Structure 1
């Protein structure tokens, strides 16, 4: 069997291929190519073909391809999605404009309110129709005016709109009107992207539900075109494997499902990195980890507690300040990466990022026309990146161009030396990242002193120890293939789908009728999850189901996710749910009011299946100290204290288990470079991961 993982970043596309022969012998190959921003599928397919050549296999031999993509996220960030129309209940045309009447920053006069200044759907394209569903049972008060729906669709077709969303009040209680309206619009506009809010996210709160459905329609046409292009290009290259797309919740989905509900892909790219980080942590016997994935454009931060991924609570799931009610791994992204541009602003301040040089033109040292100094240029000037080992020698870099860019744009304007300016770039970017890590750990009651910092992505191990020092992490981990960790994470994921339905009940006082209603909802959601898994070709004996409820104190504004006990939902289950809610609330906020009533608001069934996992061979035991067999040469290198010392280079692929590399040292490999400063030592773990700690504290 041959499986391939492909993760597309803003600068590079990372690939990993695992081959398992009939005798069970496994071989793993990695590769990295420049991302093609105009159409990511071009770089993906080129990378797959080149990786097959490296592994000496044919593209047609690939059995499965797993893909993490930033297409959906980029559409939202760049605001270049589809022109969308909306059909909604009469009187509720401006829900998307009003939101919750809450400003993101209450006391800021300058802060932009994005859902008003740049709405996903223009007001002229929001059309109201007569219909009304009433709570609490979803009875029909006013029947749907089908002629008005048809007229609205004809108007949208005349305007040339690419997508239409149907969002009616209380459709989570009864979605008959939404489904009928969607049917009419599909008949009038057969080529358009059509979705009903209840098909995207079937939950309470009309603004959040409408916003999520609007986002789905906004990114839908371009995302579907990308996935269609990917499928076609893979076929042309001879790849006939089944393709799975990484989702924001840490699972994978089919191309068809991802095309219908692309809103689930908004954190597709970073999610693979967190999955890969957890898998690496298991190999290093570390279950409490702070991950930071530093690529060319951004740094993505997440926390793994006791080996478990953190899923965001509904109040926090947003993209570009717009609420998106889909399950997401808790990841915070900031504009900090190897391509982040350093500059002196109009006030004379020294700044780095968030603007990035990206893949084109890239840092100045790439020689592709970039003249602005970047973080990568600073690393080159300080002697931390060697031209002959950058991407294994696959990408030529020119240190003279880095020096020129830093001198012209930073050193001379600020009256400092090139070395001081380069150190300043790293100090600023590291401070930005350490503050972001603190806001995702310390601010949430997590003590980094008890956690390992895992730094990956192409630039991660260059910054890992410095960041570990700044946050006082227990130690720092550099995975075996840092630049490919997100792609490797794709090969340890599983199919994962979440189906939702709002169903309100007070846990401590739920009666027979409420319990029966909850069980009926769970049964229906599990049947939907089973049907989706079966459509993916997963037999019933491999299907797994998990139940989650979003709960709150009665009258509270937002909910917390709570695991539901197995078996039929009984009065005893409800009491246990209340206890679990108090425990989750105490973890999140430091307190719980156990005498207060708890309300269950939204029910979720998560359908998944166990899948083949990536397995790497154990390294031969070495037990050596600064092994000469792995030593390459020594070169002057400047560290964060400003001292320049002659520093040995080591070939990571020649290190063995239990080898120790004592700093100062630079450990090079094809997809990344790991810095071991003076006073630190890197210990090689059984699969080749490095655990870096202060000398005397290693192990």
Structure 2
């Protein structure tokens, strides 16, 4: 059983005796377990079982959530106290003199007169220096002054610190001083006392050098620690109350998962969208789709990820989380504030419609939900334009009010735009599709890809409803709404493997261009790799995984000479025993560098260095199996059955309404082709086929949109 808790909907995917069941419910932000129980109740009604029977029988329960992302955006967190090496108290407040630009688009970074830094997660007066120092190789320069540490800890607690973050210089090379500070804090405030204070050590959160990004990683982790702990613990207690005795698994943004007791708060950021990218990778490999761009349009956001042929994902090793640069490996994705709940407003500067990033969420939700929402959203526009069935939305669980939707659009936009309600709804539709197409184009072009060479995967509750308009703007001719498209991220959570990544920053010269010397300290390299392997192995053994089932992969961050750009190379051989192994490593780096920057751009004459050694320890789990979902050849496609109804829909680029036939998705067999315009409704999503497109049904509920 896998669950994706989003800003608007909680998606549930259950695999039971070979049956695949997908269900949705509104997210209950005040108590996430309620939304989970409602979604699951729909699933067990399909199976004819009780909730306790399912939870007692499933092998695992896996959670992906945006709870941490939302907590950062809302700026709800504890008061943090921070201990740093004396003399480095200004490192975090100065934020490399570029803190105002992190997390902004290119235009925002260039707007220096209006530049503003994000509100700090740790206040400057809550940062204290302690007397200690280690050099860049971890050798002792100044012993830790323990009396000074006790004074600083007590001072921070007196000022209201609810959590202590420790980020000392060079602690990733030698953590002894950070570990001793933790011991001192536990001596002062033992864990069994009410005054106990959580402590976050930076070397345990991020294993690479760079005191600023390591410090911000530890701060973000500490800021989210209590929120994530209490929320996820409540979810686990809910499972316990319903007879589920096994540990709950939490999806990580690294592309793996782990038990709650082996999860840092920072690892849960963006775990929902990352699950969707993992499912896209799995589907692309099984169905031989080639290059795919994964697009997830839910109620709150539009997430974009690229998976090129061969299942290669892009990673960020220094991603920006909200407005903070951190140092944890994270599957690369781009998130836009564009979803079904995105609020539309009048843009006075450009005298047009603006959509997002603010969202109505699930409470109160769009105006048409009749839950108190008064501002127009994308869903309201889709209803007014005729795409949605007000009596059969979300399988009939939510009744939509067209009059409320039209009134919200009219009150907010029509007077300023001097247009009709239909025209205003059309502008909302056009604007949000343009925003998503622009974001998609920018992301793909920035990475050197042509959108026309990709198949677009459209999933999430609103993906199949908006995909034709987005693809049309990009010149994409093939769209796939994958099996279980409305809960596809939850499917991805069910396909994850348990995985832990450990890394070590260091200065290791593989080839010295001055002395023409090739690295020969094989024991040092092998010792570090073995230590990182063992750390990951112990993580998994602690979660009940037998040692013989654990696998490892090795990655090296390498560069030529003093270049700033690093390239990550995946190394198949994990031990060095002679010059041939070193040369094989250099050859792999040269090959990867040439693929990225062009053959001939390699510069071994500058020397070759390793900056980071990274080891992933993982264990494979059973995954969802996708059938052959290729569309039938044109000559073998079948005509559709008679539509169940017809209604008037409005489409961008067409004056006036078009009589649009409406089908039930369950009535369309594999191989059937439907020519647009058409609306195909299911219990969990709506497929909108624009004029000039064909809808082709495939196996396992997969649906293709092909340009006519």
Query: Shorter-chain-normalised TM-score: which range?
Result: over 0.9
Counterpart position of 1:641:
653
Counterpart position of 1:572:
580
CA contact (8 A) 1:200 1:213 kept: yes
**SS of the counterpart of 2:237?**
helix
**SS of the counterpart of 2:616?**
strand
**Out of 221, 224, 237, which is 1:219 matched to?**
224
CA, structure 1 residues 410+16, in 2 after alignment: closer, same or farther (shift >3 Å)?
same
- Alpha-carbon separation, structure 1, partners of 2:439 and 2:629: 35
**SS of the counterpart of 2:173?**
coil
CA, structure 1 residues 552+99, in 2 after alignment: closer, same or farther (shift >3 Å)?
farther
Counterpart position of 2:682:
669
Counterpart position of 1:318:
320
CA, structure 1 residues 106+32, in 2 after alignment: closer, same or farther (shift >3 Å)?
closer
Counterpart position of 1:23:
none
**Out of 476, 480, 490, which is 1:477 matched to?**
480
**SS of the counterpart of 1:687?**
helix
**Out of 610, 613, 616, which is 2:623 matched to?**
613
CA contact (8 A) 2:629 2:702 kept: no
CA contact (8 A) 1:343 1:410 kept: yes
CA contact (8 A) 1:311 1:327 kept: no
**SS of the counterpart of 2:511?**
helix
| 1:11-50 paired onto structure 2 within 5 Å | 11-20=8-17, 26-50=18-42
CA contact (8 A) 1:496 1:607 kept: yes
**Out of 350, 356, 359, which is 1:356 matched to?**
359
Q: Deviations over 1:562-583 (max 9, x none)?
A: 1123241353343333343344
Counterpart position of 2:547:
540
Counterpart position of 2:303:
300
Q: Deviations over 1:89-121 (max 9, x none)?
A: 11111111122233636642244453xx52221
**SS of the counterpart of 1:13?**
strand
- Alpha-carbon separation, structure 1, partners of 2:26 and 2:286: 29
Counterpart position of 2:133:
132
- Alpha-carbon separation, structure 1, partners of 2:332 and 2:312: 8
Counterpart position of 1:344:
346
Q: Deviations over 1:583-608 (max 9, x none)?
A: 44444445723343222101110011
- Alpha-carbon separation, structure 1, partners of 2:697 and 2:12: 23
Q: Deviations over 1:20-57 (max 9, x none)?
A: 2xxxxx11111111011233233223333443233223
CA RMSD of aligned residues (A): 2.2
Q: Does 1:559 align with 2:566?
A: yes
**SS of the counterpart of 2:178?**
helix
**Out of 682, 691, 698, which is 2:704 matched to?**
691
Q: Does 1:55 align with 2:47?
A: yes
- Alpha-carbon separation, structure 2, partners of 1:238 and 1:97: 48
**SS of the counterpart of 2:76?**
coil
Unaligned 5+ runs, structure 1: 21-25
CA contact (8 A) 1:41 1:226 kept: no
How far 1:513 sits from its partner (Å)?
5.1
How far 1:621 sits from its partner (Å)?
12
CA contact (8 A) 2:458 2:485 kept: yes
Counterpart position of 1:174:
174
CA, structure 1 residues 106+332, in 2 after alignment: closer, same or farther (shift >3 Å)?
closer
- Size of the alignment, in residue pairs? 680
| 1:195-594 paired onto structure 2 within 5 Å | 195-258=200-263, 261-282=264-285, 284-315=287-318, 317-347=319-349, 348-509=351-512, 511=518, 514-569=521-576, 570-590=578-598, 592-594=601-603
- Alpha-carbon separation, structure 1, partners of 2:71 and 2:590: 39
**Out of 70, 74, 95, which is 1:74 matched to?**
70
Counterpart position of 1:655:
668
CA contact (8 A) 1:309 1:329 kept: no
CA contact (8 A) 2:296 2:458 kept: yes
- Alpha-carbon separation, structure 2, partners of 1:572 and 1:594: 20
CA, structure 1 residues 538+278, in 2 after alignment: closer, same or farther (shift >3 Å)?
same
CA contact (8 A) 1:562 1:584 kept: yes
TM norm structure 1: 0.93
**SS of the counterpart of 1:605?**
strand
Q: Does 1:162 align with 2:190?
A: no
TM norm structure 2: 0.92
**SS of the counterpart of 1:195?**
strand
- Alpha-carbon separation, structure 2, partners of 1:594 and 1:474: 40
CA, structure 1 residues 523+552, in 2 after alignment: closer, same or farther (shift >3 Å)?
same
How far 1:635 sits from its partner (Å)?
1.3
How far 1:618 sits from its partner (Å)?
7.8
CA contact (8 A) 1:550 1:600 kept: yes
How far 1:354 sits from its partner (Å)?
0.9
How far 1:494 sits from its partner (Å)?
0.6
CA contact (8 A) 1:249 1:328 kept: yes
CA, structure 1 residues 480+97, in 2 after alignment: closer, same or farther (shift >3 Å)?
same
**SS of the counterpart of 2:503?**
strand
**SS of the counterpart of 1:228?**
helix
CA, structure 1 residues 684+154, in 2 after alignment: closer, same or farther (shift >3 Å)?
same
- Alpha-carbon separation, structure 1, partners of 2:276 and 2:631: 28
Task: Tell me whether 272-281 or 7-16 shows the greater mean CA deviation.
Answer: 272-281
How far 1:146 sits from its partner (Å)?
1.4
- Alpha-carbon separation, structure 2, partners of 1:519 and 1:254: 29
Q: Does 1:65 align with 2:68?
A: no
Q: Does 1:193 align with 2:195?
A: no
- Alpha-carbon separation, structure 1, partners of 2:414 and 2:279: 39
CA, structure 1 residues 409+10, in 2 after alignment: closer, same or farther (shift >3 Å)?
same
**SS of the counterpart of 2:684?**
coil
How far 1:304 sits from its partner (Å)?
0.4
